[in-house]
Structure 1
């Protein structure tokens, strides 16, 4: 890896938590200069403008978040159990510094920066399609009953988890995310192919 690439990666890693905590408008290039320890001119040598750096920072933050949420999922073959691990990861693992980058970016850029809004939309789609693929594979292997709509379940999971995260930020003592996780685990059990079989016994 070249020195220039190392410097660029260091800038992104330092900038990502700042943008995630402060938002696009709240985070200045001077904040990043102070965090990275470089002159402002050096930053612009790697990124043409603040927007380009913010986009790279979001991608970094989301990649780190996604990697944590997918931890240990590849150790389980069964689709239901795989999704339960995913739920447990989202509920129990520490968030990226400043909270979920997807939630923060959607909230911060609803009527704000269009490039970041587009990145958030793509990240959301990527997450939904990932969950859908697990559900579809589970149906193909007869682990999940055929009447289940993978897109609907994936959308429900994301909505509950992200919504609960938002509520926990308002009142951490209420444990919205933990409750959402328990509800999703119970719901996932009802999707199992065996549950359908027992209805005919």
Structure 2
């Protein structure tokens, strides 16, 4: 059973995570945080040492949600090829998944924190590397089981695949046009069938 303090901490993180993700570390003011949570500055800092700690907890919350969703897609039943196609389908609808998060946490925090918050920037890079690793593991398994051939080392292919996916996420966000997601995922399906299907 959780304590009142634990419930308050969880409430704060869940409430402010979309704000930090949408507005960035610098763009999220203390009045934004107190207004969203209905708590005083003192109450917020009674649960978190400072704004840095709160921003990092908010990113980790969104990152955990994303990684958990990807595990649902990439772990479990099905061939490696089926898992890759499920991954593309997940990203085809990624804007729906990230809507209440304030957008893609890897893209938003990764770009926002690049030049102004070393810890958040490192956390975003680590999440991206984790996703690349998850994709590479699917590819490695597929190769070992004789389901597919990969023209380059699996991690290299995974990185290129994720780069194209994130490019589509970025363009869909910038252009406010989800066709970038749909069209890129359709192209990647063709690419995967052509490049790695046995």
TM-score past 0.5 threshold: yes
- The match for 1:117 is 121
Q: Which residue of 2 aligns with 1:180?
A: 184
Q: Deviations over 1:61-98 (max 9, x none)?
A: 11222333443444532001101101111111414232
Number of the residue aligned with 1:14: 15
Greater displacement, 122-131 / 95-104 = 95-104
Q: Deviations over 1:149-185 (max 9, x none)?
A: 2112211121111111111223234721111101111
Query: Any stretches of 5+ residues in structure 1 without a counterpart?
Result: 195-201
- TM-score (norm. length: structure 2): 0.91
C-alpha distance in 2, partners of 1:49/1:114?
16
Unaligned runs of 5+ in 2: none
Distance 2:74 2:133 in 1: 16
Q: Distance in 2 between matches of 1:159 and 1:32?
A: 33
Structure 1 residues 191, 79: CA separation in 2 closer, same or farther (over 3 Å shift)?
A: farther
How high is the TM-score relative to the length of structure 1?
0.89
Alpha-carbon distance between aligned partners in 2 of 1:174 and 1:12, rounded to the nearest angstrom: 28
TM-superposition CA deviations, 1:109-166 (whole Å, max 9, x none): 1211011001011111111111111110111111111644211221112111111111
Task: Provide the residue aligned with 1:197 in structure 2.
Answer: none
User: Could you tell me how far apart the structure 2 residues matched to 1:115 and 1:12 are?
Assistant: 17
Cα distance in 2 between the residues matched to 1:71 and 1:21? 25
Q: Distance in 1 between matches of 2:150 and 2:156?
A: 13
Please tell me whether the aligned partners of residues 80 and 147 of structure 2 are also in contact (alpha carbons under 8 angstroms): yes
